[in-house]
Amino acid sequence: MIRFMSNLQPSLGMWICRTLLLLAACVGLSACSDRGSQAGNEMTAEARISLARQRYKSGKPVVLAAAWNNQDGEFLAGAQLAAEEINAEGGINGHVLKLETLDEQPFVSGTAFTHFRDQGRYRNEPQLAGTTMAKTILRNPEITAVIGHSTDSTILPAMLAYEQSGVLFFGSGSNDSRIRWSSAHLYFQLQPQNTLLAKVMTKRMKDWNWDKIYFIYEATRHNEQFVELLKTDCASANINFGGAVAIMPDASSNSSTMRMQQSIAALRAGDVDALVLIASSDLAAHTIREARTLGLLQPFIIKLLSNPISFIKRVGPFGENARLVTLGRDGYQIDEFHKRFAARFPNQKADVSAEFGYDSVRLYADAVATADSTDPTLVANVLHYKLTTWHGLLGNYTFVDREVQNVKYSVQRLVRQKDGELAFVKDSSVE
């Protein structure tokens, strides 16, 4: 299994060095293939598909790539567990499933990335990171499918690179419909769309009798669009808009923290019933800690966390009673998965992203088995017309126009359990 993992944190002056290191990583990936002398990025889509057919016909392994930021959940571990179980069960129609994983962290970390974002000049940086990650994966000509990608702003350029190379892509890290609109027929969005998420959040806020809400959101275009969508739904439900503040991704810096404090300090007056928080796990935790330190007492409702375990560790008791809209579910199937995950990875804890990783691999494997081919077009046709409903950990996956339909959102609350530990549990309260 091929992995690219690093805690590299380059300074702004080392930006060029970081880029060179990433290019070197690309070379290293292609060298690991038994066809490493042929750079996959130089292949046409037709040549890649032809090679896939030849390899499948001759009984060679099915190669699947998985990309995720290891600091944002256990997606890759969940994917690895699924691949190991599939191979223990006899593989895919007798073919070994070979999983190649890529950690996104080295591609999106570093003070250069953060600096450009803080200055509002970072638009090209996520595009470069997404394209570079995709090209790193595509260096291996045996890869005809990719799952994952957790960094929302890098998924679109990565998807475009995969489409050009004729590679199937299961996007597990975003529900931004703009990505699907920009794609052809090989992109499948595994998260339910934003319209459903907004309706779930609005309904629950109405159930809780919240009359006026305030938005705190991480400054991305996708989040801005979701805020507008949620404002519209709330207005239809007679929930009043009390204002909004956009926070930069590096809000933990002194200057960003001061700006956020100044924006939300006035909320201590109490004329707002609740705070809607839309941010990454670490940034959400930091925001809640700052709000509670300032004396804000309003409840929080948080939109999707790919790594709720990291959130709990960082937010601590400041986050008690925060509500989380999530894809996580309860039940026997989930409990059994968590047991197997704990046995395989005793130092890690399964989260929603681990369940997504597991489902993504299982879904792809079943589609390949049904198509009896790794030809991306044939596999895509199976997802459209044959696997009309696929049962996974997170629900029943049904694709309509390449967007999943029957995976549902639920609401959880962060509570302190009898053993003193904080945990998200199903929230059935109506207040």
Residue tagged 């839309």 (tokens): 278
Q: How many Cα atoms sit within 13 Å of 386 on the Cβ side?
A: 13
Residues 142 and 235 grouped into a single domain: no
Residues 311 and 214 grouped into a single domain: yes
Which pLDDT does position 110 carry in this prediction?
60
From the CA atom positions of the chain, what is the Rg in Å?
A: 22
What tens digit of pLDDT does each residue of 94-136 get?
A: 999 999 999 988 887 764 455 545 555 455 677 788 899 999 9
Does residue 142 register a pLDDT over 90?
yes
Banded model confidence at residue 2, pLDDT cuts 50, 70, 90:
very low
**Mean pLDDT across 389-418:** 84
By the 8 A CB rule, do 31 and 130 touch?
no
Residues 6+ apart with CB under 8 A from 288: 277, 300, 315, 318, 319, 322
The residue among 51, 52, 78, 84 whose CA lies nearest residue 66 is 78
Two structure tokens written together for 35 = 């066809």
- The pTM score is 0.82
Residues 337 and 322 grouped into a single domain: no
Does residue 307 register a pLDDT over 70?
yes
DSSP annotation of 40: G
Interhelix angle for 332-344 vs 352-371, to 10°?
100
Evaluate whether residue 212 is within a structural domain.
yes
What tens digit of pLDDT does each residue of 178-228 get?
A: 676 666 689 888 888 888 889 999 999 999 999 999 999 988 888 898 999
Evaluate whether residue 36 is within a structural domain.
yes
The whole-chain average pLDDT of the chain stands at 83
Evaluate whether residue 136 is within a structural domain.
yes
Residues 171 and 312 grouped into a single domain: no
- Total number of domains in the chain: 2
Residues 174 and 32 grouped into a single domain: yes
Evaluate whether residue 220 is within a structural domain.
yes
Residues 151 and 274 grouped into a single domain: no
Range of 127's domain?
12-192+333-400
Residues 297 and 227 grouped into a single domain: yes
Residues 108 and 216 grouped into a single domain: no
Lowest mean pLDDT among 166-170, 249-253, 261-265, 270-274: 249-253
Evaluate whether residue 431 is within a structural domain.
no
Residues 40 and 180 grouped into a single domain: yes
Two structure tokens written together for 159 = 């998807």
Helix (H, G, I), strand (E, B) or coil at 276: strand
Residues 259 and 124 grouped into a single domain: no
Residues 321 and 337 grouped into a single domain: no
Evaluate whether residue 5 is within a structural domain.
no
Evaluate whether residue 6 is within a structural domain.
no
By the 8 A CB rule, do 105 and 149 touch?
no
Evaluate whether residue 3 is within a structural domain.
no
Q: What are phi and psi of 139, to 5 degrees?
A: -60, -25
The residue among 148, 200, 198, 199 whose CA lies nearest residue 174 is 148
Q: Rounded CA gap, 164 and 131, in Å?
A: 12
Lowest mean pLDDT among 10-14, 119-123, 422-426: 10-14
**Mean pLDDT across 164-170:** 94
Strand segments, DSSP code E, in 223-357 are 240-247, 274-278, 300-303, 323-326
What tens digit of pLDDT does each residue of 18-45 get?
A: 444 344 434 334 334 444 434 566 789 9
By the 8 A CB rule, do 116 and 36 touch?
no
Two structure tokens written together for 57 = 């016909």
Q: Residue 57 belongs to a domain with what CATH number?
A: 3.40.50.2300
DSSP annotation of 254: H
**Mean pLDDT across 341-365:** 94
Residues 71 and 129 grouped into a single domain: yes
